[in-house]
Structure 1
Amino acid sequence: MTRSFTILFALILTFSALCTTAQVKNVQEEAERKGVQRVNRKIDKGIDKGFDKIEDGIGSLFGKKKKKNKADDNNASSENQNQNAEIANANASATPATAPTMDVQWSRFDFVPGDEVIFEDGPAALEENGEFPSRWDLVSGNCEIIQVNGENVIAFPKGGSIVPYLKNSKTDYLPEVFTIEFDAWLWHDNQRDIYVNWYDKKNQKNSLHDDIEVNSFSLEAGNTYQELEKKTKHNGKWRHISIAYTKGKLKAYLDETRLVNIPHYEGNPSGVTITCSGYSSDKPEQLQYIKNVRIAKGGVKYYDRVLSDGKIVCNGIRFDVNKATLKPESMGSINEIFSLMQKQPDLKFSVEGHTDSDGDEAKNQTLSEQRAKAVMNKLIEMGISADHLTSKGFGESQPVADNGTAEGKANNRRVEFVKF
């Protein structure tokens, strides 16, 4: 009993001491204090958020980018893809279904033949059908004259190689600057190509330089290969092959398009061999043949000729037989004259036509006048002022070579541009 009383008495004394030393807080004052603190915290958070926005705004001015979470990036990417798809669809609807057809014309043909013919073969109308062409020599295979649509051509029934029949065939008869042209009937496949070798395979030693390979859709020289058109089948067509060699620079054309332009062609061309690979085994009636072969020496630039001679002699302007209709390959020379007259606006030319001595003299006179006028009209059509041009014809009256040879006749069939 006494022990319990003692413990209770001690607790009462301890509680009394605590009450005398501690201060009891006022409930109203404590509530007001707590409310002020809470309001202050709200204000501080609001101010912090305001400063955060201000800082983000300043950051954007200086190129800072706000980080996005992965979901935002995915949404933005999806939106961009949708926008791109819409733009693509709009462009597709605005684009024509088919591309426009390119207008390729012979007026872009910049090949200019040499001005002095050193070999020419049509072949002549007097050549007998079935005989070997008299202006050529055989290297291998087979070659003969046949008639196609009323004109003589050189055919290769089973393939063969021929070289021009010249007195100086063992020597280098190709000058430093020359051109060679011919027409070839080519079929659609590439198994029957025509090759031009730059040496006489019968009379000259083998050369190291490459040949030129031609088929109906492409042309290849050295390591250069270019196609003129897709490999579409057709029943054969005439192609005009033109090659220009100028002191190591080689250009080659198929029809109106230049397909080869080699600035440094290895080796020195010394002669010409033409090879046809033969007929198709499944269609032996599809022969290969060529015509209108011409090798020419040339030439001095047109402007230099005007300065030195006062005139330009063009053997590259061709016409249909006994007509004044310009052949497409004439445009190379005509384009050069046109360009010269544009660059030299004071130049004025008399366009003068000349013929060989074949046929009636009076008809040749009329033909030369008509051809000269046709050339003049073409230049006027292209944009040359009419008061800078006149035309006249001289027929066969002013030959510059012997009419007794094919080469002489080719040189006599010419158009001259005489300065006035």
Structure 2
Amino acid sequence: MKLILILMMVIFSSLPGNAQLLKKIKKGTEKAVENVIVKKSEEKAARETGKIMDTILNPKFGAKDPKPAESDNNSDTTNQKAGVSSPEIWTAYDFVGGSEVIFTDDLESEQAGEFPSRWDLIRGNAENVSIDGIHAIKIDHKGIITPLINSNEYLPESFTVEFDAFFNDVPASWQKYLIRFYNGAEPNKKFDNGDILSPLLIQGNGARITSKVKGSEIKFEKFGPFGAPGISGWKHIAISFNERAMKVYIDKERILNIPNISLKLSVFSIEAQTQKEDLKAVKNVRIAKGGSKLYSRLIEEGKFITSSILFDVNKSTIKPESGGLLTEIARMMKEHPETKFSIEGHTDSAGEAPYNLKLSKSRAEAVKTSLIRLGINEARMETKGYGEEKPISENNTPEGKANNRRVEFIKIFNN
């Protein structure tokens, strides 16, 4: 800008009768330069002010991530950015994850750009990606992936499925995930007796599933507003199936409550669709075998074990989606006020043993604190932590590690 000003002064100074014009041009040019400087200063000040406010409202903003502990215990991370669940526990959430993990994938060891090693491809394409530092699987439009499990029918009579799905800031009908509980890529499954099962359709605003049983079509659906939500982000999807009944949740809301599917659900796959080339991604997929009621297990075994109380990585912060199980435990303790528990935390073998021991103790304490907040008397609970000392599964598979990362509720018998 200064060079232009000098050149213009030289040119016009050599021309007669242009002294007044030169002064005007010089003054205007200097004013333009001044405006540019002021604008850039204002932008810089605004950026700095924004950083300061972010630091005040969120102390973690701008801070370097601390060096992670060596243990990767409970690494099913859930993004806490805009559009995703609050860290508060969902106390009105009644979903309870299955008692035994049969498939899980945190993608921590995967390489970006490669196909996810614990999955199989039915159609299209998929690859590992990192989204704001979060490991995820990006699925192409109409791509279908399924867990790499050596069985054509691995879903038990009672099971739960959980995963996080990314939704863009677009009208709800523009993006969907189709969940098939049958093999292949067909738009529906036709059984030998003529019954038909369609995929479970999940959008950011609701869900739908249809079937045809004994000649009658059955449809269950619930949708909210179809407009763009104004924000992009992850949503937690949870599905529970108990022999014939199905419940579907999006974040903390139960979307579908289906009393009778009456059809065999054998496998699990995810298809992603969008109207545009928007991001389609999933993470933290977890399939678990359903268990009997908590009190029944307590009567039969004197304890119950759960790997469905989830924590932030290397922390004792309980994830919001654990609220359903904690609420059920609190309800059971209120219905049976004579029960007292030793709440015992366990980890897998990743990391250093002393760290895992400390972590397991703090997680057991966090569970106790949550139950106190749900109305349980502190005197009815004590806590212990065993770290990696008492595994119940091998620590050489993701599923084994997930089952070892658990909380046990041991009944205390009165002397």
TM-score by length of 1: 0.71
* Distance of aligned partners of 1:229 and 1:253 in 2 relative to their CA distance in 1, 3 Å threshold: farther
Contact 2:177 2:273 in 1 (8 A): yes
Measured after TM superposition, the shift of residue 232 of structure 1 is: 3.7
**1:213 aligns to 2:182 (yes or no):** no
Residue equivalent to 1:128: 111
Unaligned runs of 5+ in 2: 1-87, 211-218
CA contact (8 A) 1:136 1:164 kept: yes
Distance 2:273 2:339 in 1: 49
Structure 1, residues 204-235: CA drift from partner, whole Å, max 9, x if none?
A: 97653122111111111221111356634323
Distance in 2 (CA, whole Å) between partners of 1:270 and 1:167 is: 13
Q: Give deviations 1:97-131, integer Å, cap 9, x for gaps.
A: xxxxxxx97111111111011111112x2101000
Q: Could you say if the C-alpha distance between residues 176 and 381 of structure 1 is closer, same or farther in structure 2, counting changes exceeding 3 Å?
A: same
| Alpha-carbon shift at residue 276 of structure 1 (Å) | 0.5
**Misfit runs of 4+, over 6 Å:** 202-205
Supply the RMSD in Å over aligned alpha carbons. Answer: 1.9
Q: Which residue of 2 is the match for residue 246 of structure 1?
A: 242
Mark the CA change 1:263 to 1:111 in structure 2 (over 3 Å): closer, same or farther: same
What pairs up with 1:71-82 in 2 under 5 angstroms? none
In structure 2, what is the Cα distance between the partners aligned to 1:206 and 1:350?
Answer: 49
Partners of 2:164 and 2:190 in 1: how far apart? 26
Q: Secondary structure at the match of 2:175?
A: coil
Give the structure 1 partner of residue 341 of structure 2: 349
Distance in 1, Cα, partners of 2:308 & 2:224? 23
The amino acid that maps onto 1:288 is K
Verify the 8 A CA contact 1:314 1:333 in the aligned structure 2.
no
Q: Which residue of 1 aligns with 2:158?
A: 177
* 2:103 alignment partner, SS class: strand
Conservation of the 8 A alpha-carbon contact between 1:209 and 1:266: no
Judging changes above 3 Å, is the alpha-carbon distance between structure 1 residues 322 and 411 closer, same or farther for their aligned structure 2 residues?
same
Per-residue deviation, 1:148: 1.2
Residue in 1 aligned with 2:101?
A: 117
Question: Per-residue deviation at 1:200?
Answer: 2.5
Structure 2 distance, partners of 1:405, 1:128, is 18
Q: 1:175 Cα deviation (Å)? A: 0.7
The equivalent residue for 1:67 is: none
On the 8 A contact 2:100/2:289 being kept in 1, the answer is yes
Task: Report whether the alignment pairs 1:405 with 2:409.
Answer: no
- Structure with more relative contact order (C-alpha pairs < 8 Å, separation 6 or more): 2
Contact 2:190/2:197 (<8 A) preserved: no
- In structure 2, distance between residues paired with 1:245 and 1:373: 31
Amino acid paired to 1:119: F
Please say if residues 164 and 235 of structure 2, whose CA atoms lie closer than 8 Å, have aligned partners that are also in contact. Answer: yes
Paired residues in the alignment total 310
Give, in angstroms, the shift of residue 321 of structure 1.
0.6
Partner of 1:300: 292
SS at match of 2:91: helix
- What is the identity percentage for the equivalent residue pairs of Structure 1 and Structure 2? 40
* Residue 264 of structure 2: aligned partner: 268
Does the C-alpha gap of structure 1 residues 265 and 304 become closer, same or farther in structure 2, counting only changes over 3 Å?
same
Which secondary structure does the structure 2 equivalent of 1:383 belong to? coil
Corresponding residue number in structure 2 for 1:325: 317
SS in 1 for 2:354: helix
Q: Residue 197 of structure 2: SS of its match in structure 1?
A: coil
Instruction: Name the CA distance, whole Å, in 2 between partners of 1:136 and 1:399.
Output: 26
In the alignment, is the contact (CA less than 8 A) between 1:163 and 1:201 conserved in 2? no
How is 1:387-402 mapped onto 2 (pairs within 5 angstroms)?
Answer: 387-402=379-394
Structure 1 partner of 2:78:
none
1:8-407 equivalence runs, <5 A = 106-123=90-107, 125-168=108-151, 170=152, 172-187=153-168, 188-189=170-171, 190-201=173-184, 208-222=196-210, 223-228=219-224, 231-278=227-274, 280-281=275-276, 284=277, 286-407=278-399
| Mapped partners of 2:177, 2:95: distance in 1 | 20
